[in-house]
């Protein structure tokens, strides 16, 4: 017997929206773990632990809505500047998450994709990351981009290097370089561009996240701290997205 909690959402019932009104791809800047812990006089790591629960909740909800993609900004290239104790904890937590969530990933037909640089990540994290990515590669449901050791400027530099190598190898002519060439050279080549970018904790910054890809994304900022971001908060963001008029540079009706 199937678990009712894993049944797909009907967006008309859950959100009051038609499927065509849903975003294909939601990207999230998950902010506020530290503030959540501080408000409760807890160590910062407790906020990160609670944030993992929110990741599970939102990922499952997006899978049940049958969205195409979800990208989560979990650890930026700049986050290495944080205290070593916190960075070590985050890396260990990431490793544990990659192991613990495999059953959930497979049950929800989720495909995990790493978005970011491999260089600099601990070998123990890369081992589990590669194992989870390989395990889920044939899944055809929600694609989850795990932005780990990610920075958009680094991504663009790496894309330029990749294109230059192709030109030097004679695989690509200079005049053949297009926007599509750049997009296909990014870490996110297997994902559509985000339609909706959510940032939690009332921060109005992009923070070096998907600078190329969010050219026409709708931005949604909420004062909800990431550990408290639940299905209700997600649905509020999606409903707000559905009310936007997306003109892509053209004129409205």
Provide the annotated active-site residues.
Answer: 31, 79
Report d(CA 93, CA 242) in Å as an integer: 35
Strand order in the sheet with 143-150: 111-115, 143-150, 69-76, 25-29, 196-199, 218-221
Instruction: Return the closest-CA partner of residue 191 out of 70, 44, 63.
Output: 70
Q: Structure tokens of 181?
A: 């060439």
The CA-atom distances, in angstroms, between 63 and each of 56, 59, 71, 81, 141 are: 11, 6, 12, 33, 7
Tokens representing 188 are 């996110």
Residue 94, phi then psi, degrees to nearest 5:
-65, -45
For residue 160, the tally of other CB atoms under 10 A from its CB is: 13
For residue 113, the number of C-alpha atoms closer than 13 Å in the C-beta half-sphere is 21
CA 65 – CA 163 distance, rounded (Å): 36
């Amino acid at each position: 017997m199937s678990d009712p909690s894993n049944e797909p959402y009907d967006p008309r019932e859950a959100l009051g929206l038609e499927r065509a009104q849903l975003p294909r791809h939601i990207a999230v800047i998950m902010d506020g773990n530290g503030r959540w812990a501080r408000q409760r006089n807890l160590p910062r790591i407790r906020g990160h632990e609670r944030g993992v629960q929110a990741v599970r909740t939102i990922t499952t909800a997006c899978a049940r809505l049958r969205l195409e993609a979800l990208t989560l900004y979990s650890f930026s290239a700049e986050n290495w500047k944080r205290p070593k104790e916190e960075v070590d904890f985050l890396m260990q937590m990431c490793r544990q998450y990659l192991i613990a969530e495999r059953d959930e990933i497979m049950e929800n037909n989720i495909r995990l994709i790493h978005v970011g640089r491999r260089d600099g990540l601990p070998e123990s994290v890369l081992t589990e990351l590669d194992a989870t990515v390989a395990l889920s590669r044939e899944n055809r449901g929600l694609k989850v981009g795990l932005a780990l050791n990610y920075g958009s400027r680094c991504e663009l530099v790496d894309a330029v290097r990749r294109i230059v190598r192709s030109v030097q190898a004679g695989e690509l002519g200079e005049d053949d370089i297009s926007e599509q060439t750049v997009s296909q050279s990014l870490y996110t080549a297997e994902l559509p561009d985000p339609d909706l970018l959510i940032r939690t904790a009332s921060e109005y910054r992009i923070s070096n996240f998907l600078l190329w890809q969010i050219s026409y994304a709708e931005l949604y900022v909420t004062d909800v701290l990431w550990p408290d971001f639940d299905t209700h908060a997600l649905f509020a963001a999606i409903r707000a997205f559905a009310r936007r008029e997306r003109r892509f540079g053209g004129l409205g009706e």
